[in-house]
A and B are shown apart, each in its own frame.
Chain A
Amino acid sequence: MDSEDDMHDAKSLEDFYSSDADDYCGSDDLDVGEYEFMEDADNDSDVIAAHRHQKNYTILTELDIQQRQEEDISRVSTVLSIPRDDAVILLRHCNWNINKVHDAWFDGEEVQKIVGLLEGPAVQYPDVRELTCVICFESHPHDKIYSAACGHPFCSTCWAGYISTSINDGPGCLSLRCPAPSCCAAVGQSMIDLLAPADDKKKYFQYLLRSYIEDNRITKWCPAPGCEYAVEFAGGGEGYDVSCLCSFHFCWNCTEEAHRPVDCDTVKKWIIKNSAESENMNWILANSKPCPKCKRPIEKNHGCMHMTCTPPCKFEFCWLCLGAWSDHGARTGGFYACNRYEAAKQDGAYDEAERRREMAKNLLKRYTHYYERWASNQSSRQKALADLQKMQTVHLLKLSYTQCEPESQLKFIIEAWKQIIECRRVLKWTYAYGYYLPDHEHAKKRFFEYVQGEAESGLEKLHQCAEKELHQFLRDDGVAPNCSFNDFRSKLAGLTSVTKNYFDNLVKALENGLSEVDPRGVCSQAESSKDGEDITTRSKTWSGRSNGTAPAGLTSQSDDSSQWSCNLCTFVNASSSSACQVCQTPR
């Protein structure tokens, strides 16, 4: 092992971890490396939770939104001494930004003109008993005639029709103007309240509420289908991940589902890639040749080289050289070997097309590899979500009964499932990450694949434990489980904690672009074929728990002879145990 390089890498990796270890331990007085999360599991996870949940966003229910909107409206209305309607119109114009309203208002009368707030009526009602509505041409008594601030008179029926049409045309109804041609007087909410049919009023109100959320940059709707909560994002803090009350996690920035550690651009690329026809195109390119006559793509899935295109083309040609079949025969090397192809290939004539096909085939294979794993983690996560649901609604109660434990003491199971769901999500996105990791960065790629593999197997262990081993305690047939419930509790809680840690580190490392990996150092080692050993050491440092084979200085915890850390899951066991308490691997 090249100690120079190793020490260098190990150092940076240690820095990376130790800063995290500090986070992990918080301000408690435990010796770093001596923490036994079995006893402190609750404590620690609380610290982490507190650290994580310095939320930089607020979830708003419909009621919250209404309240805030109402507060803003009254404030503007009070400060500017204007009717509520006018305040709404101004606020909407200024994207619900109170300061902007004030600025615009005191800047002159421009803004009033723009939004259609008139100083006084443009026309006066003639003083007659009945007025003719210029929409329906009917005469109406005065009490059936209404007008906006401008004074243009229309009957209530025509107003209702006009407002209703506008509301059903969409949110444009929020900036409704008087129906008189070229009159710009605004029609405010009180006119709507007075004249619109009830259904339309409801719609108008919804549009107004939506405008409050949609027309500014600090609030957005939760993108989950059917969810009616909105999120206010304050900025700052780490990342854009937002967790809605409806339990949907999404990225504030791009409103796709939460996708740490991958960035928004990569997610966008990946989603486009998944949905686009481009992969179909690649497949066609890789696996078909166009008919030389009609150019339709043909897949040759069996049979000889004598191709006959489907009607109406019916062109007969040789699959190898794409020449007409009529040119083939004894002269060209027999029907089953195309000499023309062989000769031309030697001349290099086919190389370009062949190479392209080959390349497309490889690219497609590569993409499929990542996509399949991305998708299978996705479905695994869906399944876990369903399992969690079932656990919460059915199993927990049963378990509480059979184990004589209050449900609050079974929370560790729910925690485990939540962790599984979160990890599946992270793992899923690591496949998009891997796909876009440049091929030429060998060191990063190999390190990435290694830690991803470890993450995957760690998660599998946790998933297995939460699914299969828990199952024994749920059986009705009275077969005694082969370990006590307490053991199971320790094991599952331990695995949850270990996995959480590992994934937290994974996310951070990937978000840093794996900057800890020194490409030069590893490349030189990869060339000197020491890579296996090298990577193992590297990852142990990275995961932060070591069994003593890693360079000294990183492994203070393993120096303590009263403990040993498991080779497989890195769990720190008491020295008295001969097998790992968590994964049962012998010491």
Chain B
Amino acid sequence: MANSNLPRRIIKETQRLLSEPAPGISASPSEDNMRYFNVMILGPTQSPYEGGVFKLELFLPEEYPMAAPKVRFLTKIYHPNIDKLGRICLDILKDKWSPALQIRTVLLSIQALLSAPNPDDPLSENIAKHWKTNEAEAVETAKEWTRLYASGA
């Protein structure tokens, strides 16, 4: 049922995501719900998440593209803008959403967020504090978590 009235835009986006995937990102729709995507993002090089494979889920609500997609990390990650439930603090997922943005742009933004954590606008207070007081140590912890939880095994 959920797939019967799928807007053309979602079909086109999906086709393009599958045929020309962005580097380091894969997104494929679930078989029984074309609005639900299984996403994998590779940890960007030069970041504490390098070498990690991070699983996310992405859901396109009924109002999409007028409303932003809902995205959440499934893999545990030590990052000041991502909380322990995997929720992401990213402006384009909230008030800065524009219907001219796409799944691809959202996932690229998340990838960029992994390269450039922003402890000044934190979601996880503790991690942000850690980041600001002792960045080297915080980066170590992030690497540790990447090895523990995102090693792709």
Residues of A within 8 A of B (CB): 134-138, 152, 154, 158, 161-162, 164-165, 179-181
Contacts and interface: CB of A to CB of B under 8 A. Distances in A.
A169 to B, nearest CB: 10
Interface stretch (B6-14, B30-38, B81-89, B144-152): B6-14
B66 A137 contact: no
B68 to A, nearest CB: 11
Nearest to B102: A134
A165 B66 contact: yes
Q: Is the interface of B mostly helix, strand, loop or mixed?
A: loop
B9 A181 contact: no
A180 B100 contact: yes
Nearest to B67: A165
A154 B9 CA distance: 14
Contacts of A181: 92, 96, 98, 100-101, 105
Contacts of B119: none
A158 B99 contact: yes
A138 B8 contact: yes
A136 B13 CA distance: 10
Interface in B4-53: 7-9, 12-13
Nearest to B65: A135
A540 to B, nearest CB: 68
Given A161-B66, A162-B66, A137 B8 contact: yes
Contacts of A180: 98, 100
A136 B8 contact: yes
Given A135-B100, A137-B8, A165-B66, 11 more contacts: A135-B9, A136-B9, A136-B65, A137-B9, A138-B9, A158-B99, A164-B66, A165-B63, A179-B98, A179-B99, A181-B100
Interface string B86-125: 0000001000101111000100000000000000000000
Contacts of A161: 66, 99
A137 B103 CA distance: 13
Nearest to B92: A181
B7 A136 contact: yes
A134 B8 contact: no
A225 to B, nearest CB: 32
Nearest to B96: A181
A543 to B, nearest CB: 63
A152 B98 CA distance: 13
Most buried by B among A137, A154, A179, A180: A137
A134 B67 CA distance: 15
Nearest to B11: A137
A413 B67 CA distance: 61
Contacts of B67: 165
Most buried by A among B8, B67, B99: B99
A46 B136 CA distance: 83
Contacts of A136: 7-9, 65
Q: Is the interface of A mostly helix, strand, loop or mixed?
A: loop
B97 to A, nearest CB: 9
A279 to B, nearest CB: 37
A414 to B, nearest CB: 55
Contacts of B98: 179-181
20 contacts: A135-B65, A135-B99, A136-B7, A136-B8, A136-B9, A137-B8, A137-B12, A137-B13, A138-B9, A152-B100, A154-B100, A161-B99, A162-B66, A165-B66, A165-B67, A179-B98, A179-B99, A179-B100, A181-B96, A181-B98
A250 to B, nearest CB: 35
B70 to A, nearest CB: 16
Contacts of A134: 100
Contacts of B100: 134-135, 152, 154, 179-181
Nearest to A163: B66
Nearest to A166: B66
Contacts of A165: 63, 66-67
B38 to A, nearest CB: 23
In the A-B complex, the 6 residue pairs with the closest CB atoms: A165-B66, A135-B99, A181-B98, A137-B12, A137-B9, A134-B100
B69 to A, nearest CB: 14
Contacts of A152: 100
A181 B68 CA distance: 13
Contacts of B65: 135-136
A134 B99 CA distance: 8
A159 to B, nearest CB: 10
B19 to A, nearest CB: 14
A135 B12 CA distance: 11
Nearest to A164: B66
A152 B101 CA distance: 14
Contacts of B101: 181
Contacts of B8: 136-138
B35 to A, nearest CB: 16
A139 to B, nearest CB: 11
Contacts of A138: 8-9
A295 B9 CA distance: 62
A180 B9 CA distance: 16
A158 B98 CA distance: 12
Contacts of A179: 98-100
Nearest to A135: B99
Nearest to B66: A165
Contacts of A162: 66, 99
Contacts of B12: 137
Contacts of A137: 8-9, 12-13
A181 B105 CA distance: 11
A158 B64 CA distance: 11
Nearest to A138: B8
A89 B99 CA distance: 23
A138 B9 CA distance: 8
A137 B14 CA distance: 12
A508 to B, nearest CB: 52
Nearest to B13: A137
Most buried by A among B8, B67, B98, B100: B100
A179 B96 CA distance: 10
A231 to B, nearest CB: 33
A230 to B, nearest CB: 30
A87 B63 CA distance: 32
A152 B12 CA distance: 21
A134 B65 CA distance: 11
A165 B9 CA distance: 18
A154 B63 CA distance: 17
Contacts of B105: 181
A515 to B, nearest CB: 54
Contacts of B9: 135-138
